[in-house]
Structure 1
Amino acid sequence: MPHPAASAPALVLGPLLRHVDPVSATVWVETDRPCEVDVLGRRTRTFCVGGHHFALVVVEGLEPGSTTPYEVRLDGAQVWPPEDSAFPPSRIRTPGGAGAFRLAFGSCRYASPYTVEESEGIPPDALDLYAQRLAAQPEDRWPDALVLLGDQVYADELTTQTRGWLARRRDQALHRRAPEDQVADFEEYTRLYVESWQDPQVRWLLSTIPSSMIFDDHEMIDDWNTSAAWRERMSGTDWWAGRITGGLVSYWIYQHLGNLSPQELAENKVWRAIQDLVDASPGTPADAEPLLREMAARADADPASVRWSFVRHWGDARLVMIDSRAGRVLEESDRRMLDDAEFEWVEAAMRRAAEEGVEHLILGTSLPWLLPHAVDSLERWNATLNRRHHGRWRGRLAEALRQASDLEHWAAFGHSFDRLGRAVLAVARGEHGRAPATTLVVSGDVHHAYAAEVVRPGGLESRVHQLTVSPLHNQAPHPIQVAFRIGWSRRARRLTERLARLVGAVPASLEWEKQAGPYFGNQVGELVLEGREARFVLSVSGKDGVHDGRLLQVLDMPLSEA
């Protein structure tokens, strides 16, 4: 619950610097009570959700290519930066300056320092170490953007502290039917974000590097929307409806809201309705939880009602972030990673980027598009068995294997894999205007890092890469590490491709080769983009890095011809 009343309002979380363009920025905060939030003289009142208080301050009138230090004031009193901060002042840096554009990315982060790393065998948090590295570097070495590709919180893998808190809360007769070791509602989700984002290093990093975010399964539950059978089983429980509603409400507030530009905020019906609640009350606004719960329930029942995918414009670079979880079509005979309307939106965004002459098109998707070859073939084999034997015992065995082994990436949605491939190749061939120098698919999820490149069909004017970086703070058990190493081997590829052919699985419509990896440990990836040049830099702590409190750079790979 929010902090008890005191003499002045305080920050619970934030500030988070979110959408930044050449002339504007948004700054997100959570406070312990209703108040007015001031950033650079732009003031807004908090809105209320379930007894928690949030604000998104839109700062406009900035100069392109500028750097502006900022403070946060609540009811006129400065609360950020902390007086005893060891980090540089938080600042807003707008695109348009000279030099390379740097983008940091990764996924899958257990709360830190609440996870006991040594006892659980987890290497040091790469995002913590990355923040410490940046704080010691000059500003021109900082990234211009941070992209978080899923599993910012784990609703189904809790720290010891949160499990104890849940037990005490539920002793008061709340949610006794919910799983003991998982969160159940919005109130419990708020604790996960506090646990993760109050980490001092990451708190400073998120206050000064603009962030873009998309969910993966663990923000809701492992295997979220794997299949129609999974969804039917979960819908039959007496706790899932509250869980998915609370998860989507919290995601909308903590992650999705900051993905939107000022123009998109002005056009967003839910955001406008919340602002109407704030404007209607001079004191504490009415609680927006009912309208957000309605939005969340509608989004779960009808994925087309909410688009979680979004676009970021960064001068010569363009990010198209693709929701590969909530918008799935799960009928076994017609599985799609995205419904047709959202896929058309993605294709249009890619086409516009090419028409506008961007040098680098970046596609973000929490799940990798191009997997290790053996894993790709296994997913196609399994999807074919599920479709062919749906409702019979072979189909049930295939479904059990799908859920147990997480065989539900793009390869398991063959129609969508090919459709994305056609859209990527159209851009890379220059069918919509001059081809960008690179088309880059950035992803996470699979708890190792690698780089792969499309090699067939040939004749592409743009180099096409899959860049996967995961985890920021987690680990892949040793058997999984062995499996992924084998997954890239020629022998495993031949075996699994033969297995897929035996059941009539449709092979991938293009060919790719691994260029680097796999790397294991906790990791942060960086893209360095300048003109038509592009590089992929990978830094690791842990198995392929070090354990002495530093990140070790293990890769600096050119991605373009320039």
Structure 2
Amino acid sequence: MPPISCSCSRTARERDAPVSRPLQDVATGSTHAGVPFRITSPIGPVLFLDDVAGSQLLLSALFITAGDDEPPPIATAAGETRATRLAGYDHARVWRARFTLPADRASDYRWNGTTYAVAGDLTGDMRLAYVSCNGEEVGDMDREGSERNAMWERLRSEHQRRPFALMLHGGDQIYADEVTDGHNLSHDWPEHIPRDPSSAALDDFRHHLRERFLERYAALYAAPQFAWLCARVPSLMQWDDHDICDGWGSLRRSRTYSPVGQTLFAVARESFLVFQQATTDGDLPMRFADPEGQHLGWAVHGPDLRILAPDLRSERTRRQIMGPGGWAMMEAEAQHEVEGHTLLMSSVPLLGPRLSLLEALMVVIPRMQKYEDDLRDQWQSRAHREEWRRMLRLVRDLARRDGHDITAVSGEIHLATRAVMDLGGGLHLNQLVASGIAHRAPPKGWARFLGALSWLAEDPLPEHPIRVERLPGQPGRYIAERNYLVLERTAGNWTALWDLEASGMTEVMSL
């Protein structure tokens, strides 16, 4: 049985995938057969939205260059902005240029002789894209580029047809599961790790991990489909377990709190800040709730729109999903009066089938116990039951305070699906799941199994029933195809549709 996040051993389909042009070789120089990793040409710009301030988009552009090569400046109508160095590696540097563009109209910027159009108008009608799960657990860097990035190419074409103002990335932007390979301290992670490694060994391990994270981010960001799109659409990113390692926070404490585990988390966190937020500790944009970065939850408040992204990883343990910092952020947001609509980014789906039944089966079927961390990752896990209720009550109170529906968007499960929760008073929580943009779909039998499981009611708040619904025009409740989500606001009304790899665009659904 595949686990809920499909973090399983390499399938026959994966082994047989074409590898004529590995992703690693796109623009960065191969690491295969012992050839050292090199950046062969500048990577970037990759745009990130730092925040919205009045009529301005506060933006960062990320670049990765060879050695100390400084990228050319960003040019706008306000002048030129030089990049500053964010991080250094053996043979590469990461740079960031912060600048502003209008938030009330389309505009552009120029870099290195190219003009990049940005559809940055957040004041009226607009479109957002939502993606997740940009990779696979095993052999992702060896996949043939056009196959791996087929849905990125579709998303690029859709942007060319009708531009997106923002792109939301809902977790697992990279699959870092293999960064622990090739080092003595971690080659058997997480099954076997040394108890008390020396400081010198940990320093060497830290260096090994930093270089491996760089390689993966550089290869992904150099892929032409991703690079073209992310130079023109500002991104907002939220992390999940594979941005660290499979099951982070749901693994045993003896693993995550070990010297090896803490070093892995520290390097993954540094890499997440550098490559997914274009920032470092002590320099977090204002949208982050905790300037100290004990948790990395954030919120963006735009015209008639709030995008709310709690951090479900930094404070996670086997017994909790969010810690004091995360809950303080969510409770503070519950006190804000917000007009328009709230998009809640929950990297792990907030609504879903009765997975607690699968957890109960694990007790009596030993061969299923290896999937324990995958199920414990979910809000529906028996270990998180009270916390799940707390979150659902908070979402209900958010909706009642503001008098509008809330839409939760999620990834993680490598399927497309949706669900709805009745919040009372004519209000609803719509849960839209789009996963994954690059991860190949699990077997269709797994989608049918989850669809059957969804018939068993899962109502943690009995007065607020949950229904798993079909995607518009689709026969099943779970669709086993690669996909992304389009969210659109027209005359103040929000709609959604999915682009499914084989089935194409779904019918439009009103939110």
TM-score (normalizing by structure 2): 0.75
The alpha carbon displacement at 1:415 in A equals: 1.8
Secondary structure of the residue aligned to 1:489 is helix
Partner of 1:520: 480
Secondary structure of the residue aligned to 1:307 is coil
The alpha carbon displacement at 1:15 in A equals: 0.6
CA distance in structure 1 between the aligned counterparts of 2:332 and 2:256, rounded to whole angstroms = 34
Q: In the TM superposition, what whole-angstrom CA distance separates every residue of 1:446-498 from its partner, at most 9, and x where no partner exists?
A: 1111111113x5324x33100001011112332xx42332333378627xx7x
The alpha carbon displacement at 1:143 in A equals: 1.2
- Residues 417 and 16 from structure 1, CA distance in 2 versus in 1: closer, same or farther, beyond 3 angstroms? same
Partner of 2:117: 91
Partner of 1:220: 244
Q: Which segment drifts farther, 256-265 or 360-369?
A: 256-265
Partner of 1:44: 83
Secondary structure of the residue aligned to 2:508 is strand
Tell me, yes or no, if structure 1 residue 443 matches structure 2 residue 410.
yes
Give the alignment partner of residue 501 of structure 2, picking from 525, 532, 541. 541
Does the CA-based 8 Å contact 1:34-1:48 persist in structure 2? no
Q: In the TM superposition, what whole-angstrom CA distance separates every residue of 1:227-259 from its partner, at most 9, and x where no partner exists?
A: 5xx2313545x7434322221211111013469
- Residues 242 and 426 from structure 1, CA distance in 2 versus in 1: closer, same or farther, beyond 3 angstroms? closer
Matches within 5 A, 1:197-276: 197-227=221-251, 230-236=252-258, 239-257=260-278, 263=286, 268=291
Which residue type is aligned with residue 403 of structure 2? A
The alpha carbon displacement at 1:554 in A equals: 2.2
Matches within 5 A, 1:387-406: 400=369, 403=372, 405-406=374-375
Tell me, yes or no, if structure 1 residue 324 matches structure 2 residue 324.
no
Matches within 5 A, 1:300-449: 306-330=294-318, 335-352=319-336, 355-357=337-339, 359-372=340-353, 374-375=354-355, 377-378=357-358, 381=360, 400=369, 403=372, 405-412=374-381, 413-429=384-400, 432=401, 434-436=402-404, 438-449=405-416
Does the CA-based 8 Å contact 1:37-1:57 persist in structure 2? no
- Residues 177 and 307 from structure 1, CA distance in 2 versus in 1: closer, same or farther, beyond 3 angstroms? closer
Partner of 2:431: 466
CA distance in structure 2 between the aligned counterparts of 1:54 and 1:526, rounded to whole angstroms = 31
Report how many residues are paired. Answer: 438
Give the structure with higher Rg (CA): 1
Does the CA-based 8 Å contact 2:250-2:317 persist in structure 1? no
CA distance in structure 2 between the aligned counterparts of 1:529 and 1:50, rounded to whole angstroms = 42
CA distance in structure 1 between the aligned counterparts of 2:327 and 2:373, rounded to whole angstroms = 28
Aligned-residue Cα RMSD (Å) equals 3.7
The alpha carbon displacement at 1:155 in A equals: 1.2
- Residues 206 and 507 from structure 1, CA distance in 2 versus in 1: closer, same or farther, beyond 3 angstroms? same
Does the CA-based 8 Å contact 1:402-1:408 persist in structure 2? no
Which residue type is aligned with residue 406 of structure 1? L
Which residue type is aligned with residue 345 of structure 1? M
Which residue type is aligned with residue 489 of structure 1? A
Tell me, yes or no, if structure 1 residue 176 matches structure 2 residue 184.
yes
Does the CA-based 8 Å contact 2:128-2:487 persist in structure 1? yes
The alpha carbon displacement at 1:90 in A equals: 1.8
Which residue type is aligned with residue 120 of structure 2? T
CA distance in structure 1 between the aligned counterparts of 2:104 and 2:40, rounded to whole angstroms = 32
The alpha carbon displacement at 1:203 in A equals: 0.2
- Residues 518 and 395 from structure 1, CA distance in 2 versus in 1: closer, same or farther, beyond 3 angstroms? closer
The alpha carbon displacement at 1:223 in A equals: 1.1
The alpha carbon displacement at 1:367 in A equals: 0.3
The alpha carbon displacement at 1:514 in A equals: 2.3
Partner of 1:150: 171
TM-score (normalizing by structure 1): 0.69
List runs of 5+ in structure 2 lacking aligned partners: 1-27, 30-38, 191-204, 471-476
Which residue type is aligned with residue 57 of structure 1? A
CA distance in structure 2 between the aligned counterparts of 1:322 and 1:555, rounded to whole angstroms = 30
Partner of 1:101: 126
CA distance in structure 2 between the aligned counterparts of 1:101 and 1:507, rounded to whole angstroms = 34
Does the CA-based 8 Å contact 2:151-2:483 persist in structure 1? yes
List runs of 5+ in structure 1 lacking aligned partners: 4-8, 73-77, 82-88, 270-304, 386-393, 498-504, 546-551
- Residues 510 and 482 from structure 1, CA distance in 2 versus in 1: closer, same or farther, beyond 3 angstroms? farther
Does the CA-based 8 Å contact 1:256-1:308 persist in structure 2? no
Among all aligned residue pairs of Structure 1 and Structure 2, give the percentage whose two residues are the same amino acid: 19
Secondary structure of the residue aligned to 2:314 is coil
Q: In the TM superposition, what whole-angstrom CA distance separates every residue of 1:524-561 from its partner, at most 9, and x where no partner exists?
A: 1011123441111100114xx3xxxxxx10231111xx
